[in-house]
Chain A
Amino acid sequence: AQSVTQLGSHVSVSEGALVLLRCNYSSSVPPYLFWYVQYPNQGLQLLLKYTTGATLVKGINGFEAEFKKSETSFHLTKPSAHMSDAAEYFCAVSAGGTSYGKLTFGQGTILTVHP
């Protein structure tokens, strides 16, 4: 069984400030971890993913995340927020392989960026 917990349903930052969105997971098998972004009335766009190998993964739009097995965490960061980053962010886990798209999502974090 797998589960994801996102700490903080709303995060607000100033433009140019650090963005930190927290995600902790639980998985009985080696996890495949993802961050997706969703704009209003849109589908999900993949920001980045961890499968195996390097634990610090870089994604699109300047985002990155670090897989920490000991902490069962996969927090998303961006050094400098931009107004266009305002959206909802979902952390997700899957068992990978043929179950790659069977995703268990966290509850989401709405990111607000103010001038």
Chain B
Amino acid sequence: DAMVIQNPRYQVTQFGKPVTLSCSQTLNHNVMYWYQQKSSQAPKLLFHYYDKDFNNEADTPDNFQSRRPNTSFCFLDIRSPGLGDAAMYLCATSRGTVRATEAFFGQGTRLTVV
């Protein structure tokens, strides 16, 4: 009954080689979020989509991009991963209305950069 699914769970990529992380949802929520969580740190919001409207956080590096081709899917693209980008990447969704109840998180993708 997984509602927010992230693939893959573990990703190893080479320094500088573009990588894409995937998130899908069965909740039909119109808001999707990407968080970065480095080791022993709190999750930090990178950006979010409200429907097709992209909202970048001010301090998110340009190296990070996102795509949302439809309601169900959202992708995180890292154009040139550096060693400092190794982290857990968490996708979350919520209803974009005042009646939203909670944000639902996926299981995360652990990214290793070698």
Chain A interfacial positions (CB closer than 8 Å to B) = 34, 36, 41-46, 49, 90, 94, 96-98, 100-108
Contact = CB atoms under 8 A, between A and B. Distances in A.
Contacts, number: 70
A41 B43 CA distance: 13
Given A43-B90, A108-B42, A98 B96 contact: yes
B81 to A, nearest CB: 19
B22 interface: no
A43 B102 contact: no
Contacts of B40: 108
A41 B89 CA distance: 11
Contacts of A97: 97-98, 100
A98 B97 contact: yes
Contacts of A44: 43, 90, 92, 105
Contact of B103 (A42, A90, A100, A106): A100
B105 A43 contact: yes
A98 B98 contact: yes
Given A42-B107, A43-B90, A100 B42 contact: no
Given A41-B108, A43-B106, A105-B44, 12 more contacts: A34-B102, A43-B6, A49-B102, A97-B100, A98-B50, A98-B96, A98-B98, A98-B100, A100-B95, A100-B100, A101-B93, A106-B42
B12 to A, nearest CB: 14
Of the listed residues A96, A97, A101, A105, the one surrounded by the most CB atoms of chain B closer than 10 A to its CB is A101
